[in-house]
Amino acid sequence: MDALIQEFFNVPIMVRVAPMILRGLTETLLLCVILVPIGALGGLGTMLLATSANRLARGFAVVFIDLFRSFPPLVLLIFVYSGLPFAGVRVSPLLAICVAFFLNASSYYGEIYRAGVLSVPHAQIEAGRSTGLTAGQTFLYVTLPQAVRNVLPELLSNTVELVKLTTLASVISAPELLHSADLARSLTYNSSPLVLAALIYLVLLWPVVRVIRRLEHQLAPQ
Amino acid sequence: MSGLDRFVATFLDLEVGLRYGPQILEGLVTTVGIGLAVVATGLACGLALAVLRAFGMRPVNFLLIQIVDILRALPPLVVVLIIYFGLPSVGVVIPSAVVLWLSLSAILAAFSEEVFWAGITSTPTGQWMAARSTGLSFLQTLCYVILPQAVRVAIPPLTNRTIAITKNTALGSAIGVNEILGQATSAEAFSANATPLLIASVLYVLIFIPLVIASHALERRHAVWRR
């Protein structure tokens, strides 16, 4: 028992490495602030293609979504980060992370939005159009708000997944939370820094998971 | 060298591909093996936990929900690293492939417990009453009446999640499991060429795209979007 506490919950070590880990946390938060909006926007674009009247656009969106849903994000990241330099394209870790996770997140968000848009009854669109709204206005003011509401738990849960995905950046040595914790682990020969990082992720994400649980419960068909 | 030649030389070097192909195929076997083990263990444990939750023992359920939420909130790589680096220091030495299998199974169990439980609660109460009034015991009702319906409801949402978690077998490369990505990155380092990475990517897509397409088909068949 004592050995367990020494290895995993060593408070002096946690205190010592805290500044280092907090610097990692700011990088992780920065990554999230970049990735969530571009992923959500990319998803919106993907969804527009996937639900458009143009067959070519729809086909492209389907292939895009399925391709990146079957591509493990870590493989994609390493492909972008260490594959492209061989072809003469130099990418910084940050750019590689943004490109790889933009592709990944766009396909996941796109699929969720698509399901949301399809869940809005067609009569809503007809009603919107018949009151004189243009197609664009109908989409923006009638379809989209209902679509987002219908898939809110899935959207939130995908956002949690995206935040969790930022840990993969540590594999290409981007200085985010997990990377700084792992560095601290190798400096202290102790797993407590990793546990501290896990606790920080819990503080960030546990409340969101709880909210998702509540939302799923509220929206579930009776 | 033109752009196309350069691309071909970087990503489609036949000689490099032939030299490292067998090694990457070995990785394929490992990936598929661990993937199948994770799916089997994770889903079985998830179903077992959902059944446990159906008994309605409050302290047990409270604990269960907390653990499930923690596993849903923690990034998989954090779980993998804590187990991989932590356990040897307290005297438990397990191979890295087992670490990967345990971590991903635990995470899949947490997610699938939630989906199975949603399936169980979505079964109308009338079904319970009818089954109990024919003389079936609680456990018999659960096994023969409720679970078959619950599992059917749970399959479409589960496939997506299962695919997403199984793709994480690639995290094994971070702790030295010789799966596809691990083999490909070491081959890439040896050959100073990106062909192994392209082979690995193609293999992953070949494994997972049939599953993704199958999941679409399942969703369409069971489409019950809330209106």
Number of domains forming the structure of chain A: 1
Q: What angle do CA A9, A14, A17 make, to 5 degrees?
A: 150
- Quote the pLDDT of residue A219: 62
Encode pLDDT of A30-77 as tens digits.
Answer: 999 999 999 999 999 999 999 888 999 999 999 999 999 999 999 999
Query: Residue B226 to residues A149, A221, B159: CA-CA distances in angstroms?
Result: 11, 7, 19
State the CATH number of the domain containing residue A142: 1.10.3720.10
Mutation target for A interface from B12, B13, B61, B90: give the one with most A CBs within 10 A: B90
DSSP state of A189: T
CB-CB under 8 Å, B77 with A167: yes
Local structure of B183: helix, strand or coil: helix
Identify the band that residue A96 occupies on the pLDDT scale cut at 50, 70 and 90. Answer: very high
In terms of average pLDDT, the best of B17-21, B39-43, B197-201 is B39-43
Pull the structure tokens for residue A153.
């738990």
**Mean predicted lDDT score pLDDT of chain B:** 89
Percent of chain B with pLDDT strictly greater than 90? 60
pLDDT in tens, A142-179: 999 999 999 999 999 999 999 999 999 999 988 899 99
B130 to B126, B127, B135, B143: CA distances (angstroms): 6, 5, 9, 14
pLDDT of residue A220: 57
pTM score:
0.90
User: Does A215 touch chain B if contact means CB atoms closer than 8 Å?
Assistant: no
Q: For residue A164, what are the domain limits? A: 2-219
Q: Is B94 on the interface with A (CB under 8 A)?
A: no
pLDDT digits (tens, 9 = 90+) for B46-104: 999 999 999 989 999 999 999 999 999 999 999 999 999 988 888 888 999 999 999 99
Smallest CA-to-CA distance from A68 within B67, B73, B205, B8 is with B205
Give residue B227's pLDDT.
Answer: 34
Are A201 and B73 inside 8 Å of each other by CB? yes
- Report, as an integer, the average pLDDT of B21-30: 91
Cα A104 to Cα A76: distance, rounded to the nearest angstrom: 8
Q: Which CATH number, 1.20.1270.10, 3.40.30.10, 3.40.710.10, 1.10.3720.10, labels domain B13-221? A: 1.10.3720.10
* Joined tokens for residue B205: 């897509």
